[in-house]
Amino acid sequence: MKSVFKILLLLTGIALIVCSCASSHHDPFPDNLNDAQKVQELYMEINEFVKSNKLLSIKEIGQVSYGDFSCPIMVISYRNSADCKTLINAAIHGDEPASAYSVIPLIEILMNHESKCSFDVIPVINPWGFSQNIRFNKEGIDINRDFASFESQESNIVKSFIADNQYSLMIDLHEDPDSKGFYIYQYGRPDTKASEKVVEKVGQMGYPIEQDVQMVILKTENGVIDAPMWGLWYMWLSKQLSLSNFYRLHNSKDVFTIETPTHLPLSDRVIIQTTAVSVLIDEMY
Ligand SMILES: [Zn+2]
């Protein structure tokens, strides 16, 4: 019992250190940054694509509003009778555009996969940030560190949506401006086989694989960050929980996060993201 108390004390101490050095808040952004054109253009393109395929549907799951800026968070859905369902999230960080621009080719891959699993895809979780090419939301909150506190409109919209749905597999799409190569996070998995397959395929295509990214106390091993379950509770304690962390703790055991290096051209990053999801679907279904 005494040792359990010691561990809790240690985790709380580490959590406080993380809180002070990895704040999820920045100052709010000025009101003149309110142009929603970029996200509207992407939504128009996605709408045209959905209209051209009667198996797809699109709906609004919530409205993000900041004064003059108002924009919906959308979800694209495909339903089938197969007993599996995938959720893919993009652009929770507004300055990681390859995730949002991967959505249409990704949907084509998912629809044509032999598993015929149902799926939902959220193309832009952070519409204000995506329009401004900024990581945070308008209030300066890092939405992907807000899944313990739920202070942002965006995290609350996503939380309500996923509470009504159960997914067997969740994939969160990201980009990393500091990394030299591609990498993938997995959470509380018994082995790294599926992630290694993804890294192998991306490497075979000639793209760089990250060897050196460090996230708090975790490190990449040949392109894979293997996060243990205790690490997720530690992120929860430190109020830094990401959407993937949250979903792994409360919903599905099969959760992955994909990261592409932003020094590559956008078209290559879209190819890497779609390839990574395609390999993951092959491995999981
Ligand atoms: Zn990100």
Distance from the alpha carbon of residue 190 to the mean position of ligand 1, in angstroms:
25
The two beta strands, 214-215 and 183-187, are unpaired
The two beta strands, 169-176 and 85-89, are parallel
Distance from the alpha carbon of residue 122 to the mean position of ligand 1, in angstroms:
15
Is pTM beyond 0.95? Reply is: no
Distance from the alpha carbon of residue 262 to the mean position of ligand 1, in angstroms:
11
SS3 content of the chain, % helix, strand, coil (to 5): 40, 20, 35
Q: Is 116 left (phi over 0), alpha (psi -120 to 50) or beta?
A: left
Distance from the alpha carbon of residue 251 to the mean position of ligand 1, in angstroms:
21
Distance from the alpha carbon of residue 231 to the mean position of ligand 1, in angstroms:
18
Distance from the alpha carbon of residue 16 to the mean position of ligand 1, in angstroms:
22
Place of tokens 């395609």: 278
Higher confidence at residue 41 or residue 82?
A: 41
The two beta strands, 56-66 and 69-78, are antiparallel
* Residue 195 confidence (pLDDT) above 50: yes
Superfamily (CATH) of domain 32-284: Zn peptidases (3.40.630.10)
Q: What tokens does 10 get?
A: 């240690």
Distance in angstroms (rounded) separating the CA atoms of residues 240 and 185: 16
Q: Given pLDDT bands bounded at 50, 70 and 90, which one contains residue 23?
A: low
What percentage of the chain has pLDDT greater than the value 90?
78
Domain spans of the chain, in order of start:
32-284
Amino acid at 236: W
- Pick from 85, 89, 86: which is nearest to 74 by CA? 89
Distance from the alpha carbon of residue 142 to the mean position of ligand 1, in angstroms:
9
Q: What number is the average pLDDT over the span 162-190?
A: 95
Higher confidence at residue 113 or residue 18?
A: 113
219 beta partners: 214
- Pick from 41, 40, 99, 50: which is nearest to 70 by CA? 40
The two beta strands, 183-187 and 224-227, are parallel
Q: Given pLDDT bands bounded at 50, 70 and 90, which one contains residue 225?
A: very high
User: Mean pLDDT for the chain?
Assistant: 90
HSE at residue 141, side-chain half, CA atoms within 13 A, is 22
pLDDT at position 86 = 96
Among the ranges given (173-177, 208-212, 264-268, 280-284), the one the predictor scored with the smallest mean pLDDT: 208-212
Distance from the alpha carbon of residue 52 to the mean position of ligand 1, in angstroms:
30
Distance from the alpha carbon of residue 117 to the mean position of ligand 1, in angstroms:
26
Are residues 281 and 258 in contact, defined by beta-carbon separation less than 8 angstroms? no
Q: Given pLDDT bands bounded at 50, 70 and 90, which one contains residue 33?
A: confident
Distance from the alpha carbon of residue 9 to the mean position of ligand 1, in angstroms:
30
Amino acid at 186: Q
Q: What number is the average pLDDT over the span 231-253?
A: 93
Between 229-237 and 243-250, two packed helices, what is the crossing angle to 10 degrees?
120
Distance from the alpha carbon of residue 259 to the mean position of ligand 1, in angstroms:
7
Amino acid at 88: I
Distance from the alpha carbon of residue 166 to the mean position of ligand 1, in angstroms:
23
Distance from the alpha carbon of residue 183 to the mean position of ligand 1, in angstroms:
12
Distance from the alpha carbon of residue 257 to the mean position of ligand 1, in angstroms:
9
Secondary element (H or E) of residue 58: strand 56-66
Are residues 280 and 200 in contact, defined by beta-carbon separation less than 8 angstroms? no
C-alpha angle with apex 139: 135 to 140, nearest 5 degrees? 40
Higher confidence at residue 218 or residue 10?
A: 218
Distance from the alpha carbon of residue 176 to the mean position of ligand 1, in angstroms:
6
* Residue 257 confidence (pLDDT) above 50: yes
Helices (H) then strands (E): counts for the chain: 10, 10
pLDDT per residue as tens digits for the range 131-156: 999 999 999 999 999 999 999 999 99
Q: What number is the average pLDDT over the span 61-76?
A: 95
Distance from the alpha carbon of residue 243 to the mean position of ligand 1, in angstroms:
11
Question: Within 10 A of 81 (CB to CB), how many other CB atoms are there?
Answer: 6
Which residues have CB under 8 Å from 230's CB, separation 6+?
none
